[in-house]
Amino acid sequence: QVQLVQSGAEVKKPGASVKVSCKASGYTFTNYYMHWVRQAPGQGLEWMGVIGPRGGSTIYAQKFQGRVTMTRDTSTSTVYMELSSLRSEDTAVYYCARKSDSGFDFWGQGTLVTVSS
C-alpha cells in the first residue's frame, strides 16, 4: 500500500534552516510528482511547490522562492524540503503529498516545525 512517512518534529531558532524528509513506499517512485503543502496553526493549507521524481525539476510558489529547496533521492525513494531563514511565521505542519491524475491522492502524516527563540 502507498505510504508517505515524514521525519519527526523540529524546533528551530529564527534565521536557521530546517530539512524535512518524506520517504515513499508501495508504488513506483519515479512515476509521480511530489508536492509540499504547509498549514500554520489554526490556518488553511498553503501550496509550497513540487518536485519531479525523475530529473528532480522543481517549481516553487513565488512566496517561497529563494528560501525553499526541494530535492529527491531516487535510490531511497525520498524527497526533501529545506526551508531557510526561518521566522516565527514559518511555524507550521509541513506535508508531502503525491500528485496523481486524480489530485493529491496520498499525504504524509505531517511534520511540525516550530520556530522559536
Partner 1 sequence: QSALTQPRSVSGSPGQSVTISCTGTSSDVGGYNYVSWYQQHPGKAPKLMIYDVSKRPSGVPDRFSGSKSGNTASLTISGLQAEDEADYYCCSYAGSDTYVFGTGTKVTVL
Q: Is 107 in the site for partner 1 (CB under 8 A)?
A: yes
- Figure out which of the listed residues 10, 23, 68, 104 binds partner 1, where binding follows CB under 8 A: 104
Instruction: Give the cell for residue 69.
Output: 529547496
- Figure out which of the listed residues 25, 45, 56, 87 binds partner 1, where binding follows CB under 8 A: 45
In the bound state with partner 1, the residue whose beta carbon lies nearer, of 16 and 40, is: 40
Q: Is 27 in the site for partner 1 (CB under 8 A)?
A: no
> Least distance to partner 1 from the beta carbon of 78, Å?
18
Long-range pairs for 14-17 at CB < 8 Å and ≥24 separation?
Answer: 14/86, 14/87, 14/88, 14/115, 14/116, 14/117, 15/85, 15/86, 15/87, 16/86, 16/115, 17/82, 17/83, 17/84, 17/85, 17/86
Binding pattern for the stretch 50-89 against partner 1, x by CB under 8 A and - elsewhere: x--------x-xxx--------------------------
